[in-house]
Structure formats: structure tokens, C-alpha cells
């Protein structure tokens, strides 16, 4: 029986780990800097570890779900990290959203220790993490992917190998540009409707079945109209992803002017103290400029 390790039990990681624990039936060792989610997972049958190294020492497949590139590097490459405890032949699956070059660097270091790595960021936010219906975008070697595809399927409805190591995170950057710009478009449209005196709920219902309909529209428009910006995916994290997208695009010589514009909108919201809001809170930027609120 394969043994699993899970490092990072935040908004996304905790429900993902719950699905892994429930659906694999295998032993799961967990670690997080915050003890509360660790206690919650232990109560469901997981085993506590006191470091990333300790998780790796007890695992055949090590899964990480952390905020950004420096966090993953610290957990994997740093003192007390995964590579200090992992045995040759283990597989590391980093599900964090990080810079593609960082994923390649970590994979190269892991390979020197006999550890294979996949970068496998996800899309879907907290609701799909809870439901176990995330979309995985995976980079790495196909034989390694095939060995752990079933593990990822315990947490996601879609698991796709898109290319070599780093490709998963490049795909995630593309995803995050599209999501951010979709949210901005929904925000502009609903604020325009309200300013013109039209019911935003009726506008939403009228357009959702047409070409403007989208997963983003259905996920975010109702929350905007409720004024509910409880974080499923925080603006601060989307800023991180867009910065990685901008850096990668600039390194490749690719112009991304719309990405730059939505980045500045998010930076304005962060300055306004809203970095902890859900990224659907982008609508607040438009509301403030137009002097109206999208509320039903």
C-alpha cells in the first residue's frame, strides 16, 4: 500500500487532503506550520509529523500545497525539508502555484536525490477543493504522471499532463490571466448595469446562457450581488500569480497588456486593505469609481 504525505493545509490544502484521506484508504502523514488543520486531519485518521523531512521519510508520494515559490523551496530544499527525508524512488507532487523556473529548479535538485517530481497546480478554488472536482495541470515525465494520476484524481475531476516539468505552472499562469480578466469583465458589466438602473440579477440571468456565459460568471456574479467576498481565492494570491505571469511573459518577450492592467487593479485593492478578500472582490474597484454597489 502506498503511503502519502501532505504538506500545506491551508484554504485549499486542507479540503484536498481530506479527499485524499477519504478516497485512497492509505496512510496519510500531514504537516503544516498551523496546528489547527493538522489536528482536524488527525481526527479524521491522518498521522501528524513535525517537519517536512518527517513527512517525506514516511511517504512514497509527497504532496505539497503551499503559497508561493519561496515556500515550496523552503519546504523541499531547506533545512528539515523534503529532500532530507525522502528515499530514492519517492515521488514529489507540488500542487502549489509557483514560477515555472522555480518548479524546474526544484525538480533538478530532487532528481539529484533520486526523487521524481511533477508540478501540478490546480484550478477551481475552495469550493472545488471541497468537492474534489479540481482541475489539475501537470508538468513532468509521462511515466511518473501515470503512476500518480489516480492519486490526483481523488482530489480532482480533471487531471491533464500538459508537458515537461514547469508546464503545469505555465498552464496555471495562463489560467490565472483568463480568470482575472473574466472577473474584471463581469465586474465592469454588472457595475454598468447598476449605474444604468437595470437589475444586475436579471442581467446575469439573461446573459449566462449566451456566449458571455462562463464558469467565472456563474461562480462570481452571485457572490458579487451578495457582497460576499469571503476568500475562496484571495486577491493577494492572485497578485502573486499575476506577478509570476508578468515575469515569465517578460522573460519570453511576450506582451501581456491586459494582464498588466488587471494587476494594477488588484494592487489598488491591496492598497485599500482588501488583499484578503476573494478575487471576486475586484468588483469593489469598479463600484468605488462608479459610485454604486452591485447588490440585490
pLDDT digits (tens, 9 = 90+) for 182-237: 999 999 999 999 999 999 999 999 999 999 999 999 999 999 999 999 998 899 99
- In the set 53, 128, 172, 274, the catalytic residue is 172
Average pLDDT, the chain: 96
Predicted local confidence at residue 125, as pLDDT: 87
Q: What is the pLDDT of residues 29-55, one digit of tens each?
A: 999 999 999 999 999 999 999 999 999
Rounded mean pLDDT, 262-268: 98
Predicted local confidence at residue 25, as pLDDT: 82
172 has catalytic annotation: yes
* Residue 296 in this model has a pLDDT that exceeds 80: no
207: enclosing H helix or E strand: helix 200-207
In this structure, the chain runs to a length of 296
Assign 140 a pLDDT band (cuts: 50, 70, 90): very high
- The distance from CA 21 to its chain's CA centroid, rounded to whole angstroms, is 19
Predicted local confidence at residue 177, as pLDDT: 97
Q: What is the pTM of this model?
A: 0.90
SS3 137: strand
Residues with Cβ < 8 Å from 10, sequence gap 6 or more? Answer: 32, 34, 37, 65, 66, 67
- Full set of structural domains in the chain with CATH: 4-164 (3.40.50.720), 170-290 (1.10.1040.10)
- The residue whose grid cell reads 462608479 is 290
E-strand stretches of the chain: 4-7, 28-31, 47-48, 61-64, 91-94, 116-119, 122-123, 134-139, 156-163
Amino acid at each position: 500500500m502506498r503511503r502519502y504525505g501532505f504538506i500545506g493545509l491551508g484554504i485549499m490544502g486542507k479540503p484536498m487532503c481530506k479527499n485524499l484521506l477519504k478516497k485512497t484508504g492509505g496512510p496519510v502523514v500531514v504537516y503544516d506550520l498551523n496546528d489547527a488543520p493538522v489536528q482536524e486531519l488527525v481526527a479524521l485518521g491522518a498521522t501528524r509529523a513535525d517537519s517536512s523531512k518527517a513527512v517525506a521519510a514516511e511517504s512514497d508520494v509527497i504532496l505539497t500545497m503551499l503559497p508561493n515559490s519561496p515556500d515550496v523551496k523552503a519546504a523541499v530544499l531547506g533545512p528539515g525539508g523534503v529532500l532530507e527525508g525522502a528515499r530514492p524512488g519517492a515521488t514529489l507532487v507540488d500542487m502549489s502555484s509557483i514560477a515555472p523556473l522555480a518548479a524546474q529548479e526544484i525538480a533538478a535538485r530532487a532528481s539529484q536525490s533520486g526523487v521524481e517530481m511533477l508540478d501540478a497546480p490546480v484550478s477551481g478554488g475552495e469550493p472545488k477543493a471541497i468537492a474534489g472536482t479540481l482541475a489539475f495541470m501537470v508538468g513532468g515525465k509521462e511515466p511518473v504522471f501515470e503512476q500518480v494520476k489516480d492519486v490526483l484524481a481523488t482530489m480532482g475531476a480533471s487531471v491533464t499532463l500538459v508537458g515537461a516539468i514547469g508546464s503545469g505552472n505555465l498552464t496555471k499562469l495562463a489560467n490565472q490571466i483568463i480568470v482575472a480578466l473574466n472577473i474584471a469583465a463581469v465586474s465592469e458589466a454588472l457595475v454598468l448595469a447598476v449605474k444604468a438602473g437595470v437589475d444586475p440579477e436579471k442581467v446575469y440571468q439573461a446573459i449566462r446562457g449566451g456566449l458571455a456565459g462562463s464558469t467565472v460568471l456563474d461562480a462570481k456574479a452571485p457572490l458579487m450581488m451578495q457582497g460576499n467576498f469571503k476568500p475562496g481565492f484571495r486577491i493577494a494570491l492572485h497578485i502573486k500569480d499575476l506577478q509570476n505571469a508578468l515575469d515569465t511573459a517578460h522573460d519570453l518577450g511576450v506582451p501581456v497588456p491586459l494582464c498588466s492592467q488587471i494587476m494594477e487593479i488588484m494592487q489598488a485593492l491591496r492598497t485599500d486593505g482588501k488583499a484578503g478578500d476573494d478575487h471576486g472582490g475586484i468588483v469593489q474597484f469598479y463600484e468605488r469609481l462608479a459610485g454604486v454597489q452591485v447588490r440585490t
